[in-house]
Amino acid sequence: MEYDWNFAIVWDYRAVLLRGLLYTVMLAAITIVTSMILGLVLALLRGSKVPFVYPVISTMISVVRAVPVLVLLVWMYYCLPIITGLKLEGFTTVVIALSIYSSAFFAEIFRGGIQSIDRGHIEAAQSVGMTRGQVFQRIVAPLAFQRIFPPLVNQCILVLKNTTLAGYVAVPELLYLGQQISVRTFRPLELLTVVAVLFVVTIVPLTLAAEYFEKKYREKYFR
């Protein structure tokens, strides 16, 4: 099969593509921060002993996880305004939808981490007189963080890639702009390739940094 690759055209659109990449990274960064915070709150609430909190939160998490993220996003964009009368901008809708979706996963990662901590380490903290908050902050959180670091990185990468769905509601992230350009230039293969490369060069260094950090951490405490 013959195909006449032409990346010169892509080069002409480099500014647009970089803008798209920037948008994608920004979208992902905001979503990661909000969904981690939301996820942590959900994980802590799920462990609470207040009646009804646990079933309510775990049902919420199960429901959100069961809905395909694209369906959730498009539904929020088109149905929510009809139901609530509230019309949000595309960008805001994407951040909210992705945050709700990802927070369910982050919540489960956090919960797993918190539950994996040896009872003895918690009891030792209680025995020196730490309050519940201090036990969490000083002992449980740092130990759990070290344990959940790999799945946490994993989830962050998924969030970054899920931002490509924002194009469905016309938010100008990288893939959306790539597709726009390919429609104009009739060069979808080149653009898809470049979009893929841009994702790789964004994500791989982050992965390497995460691996380095994890290695240092292990060397320091658990050799």
Residue nearer to another protein on the CB measure, 117 or 175: 117
Tokens 């405490």 — which residue?
221
Give the residue, chosen from 66, 86, 128, 186, that forms a contact with another protein under the rule CB under 8 A: 128
CB contact at 8 A, 73 and 152: no
Give the residue, chosen from 17, 139, 165, 171, that forms a contact with another protein under the rule CB under 8 A: 139
Q: Is 51 in the site for another protein (CB under 8 A)?
A: no
User: Least distance in Å: CB of 140 to another protein?
Assistant: 10
| CA distance readout (Å), 75 to 17, 38, 71, 80, 219 | 28, 21, 6, 7, 47
Q: Is 143 in the site for another protein (CB under 8 A)?
A: yes
User: Least distance in Å: CB of 142 to another protein?
Assistant: 5
User: Least distance in Å: CB of 215 to another protein?
Assistant: 15
d(CA 167, CA 87): 18
Residue nearer to another protein on the CB measure, 138 or 184: 138
**Total residues in contact with another protein, by rule CB under 8 A:** 24
User: Least distance in Å: CB of 223 to another protein?
Assistant: 6
Q: Is 146 in the site for another protein (CB under 8 A)?
A: yes
Site residues for another protein, window 55-94 (CB under 8 A)? Answer: none
Residue nearer to another protein on the CB measure, 58 or 134: 134
DSSP 20-72: HHHHHHHHHHHHHHHHHHHHHHHHHHHT--STTHHHHHHHHHHHHHHS-HHHH
Q: Is 47 in the site for another protein (CB under 8 A)?
A: no
Q: Is 125 in the site for another protein (CB under 8 A)?
A: yes
Q: Is 138 in the site for another protein (CB under 8 A)?
A: yes
| Residue 92: how many other CB atoms lie within 10 Å | 11
Helix or strand run (H / E) with residue 127: helix 119-127
| CA distance readout (Å), 210 to 1, 11, 57, 90, 215 | 40, 31, 30, 31, 9
Q: Which residues bind another protein (CB under 8 A)?
A: 118, 120-121, 123-134, 138-139, 142-143, 146, 220-223
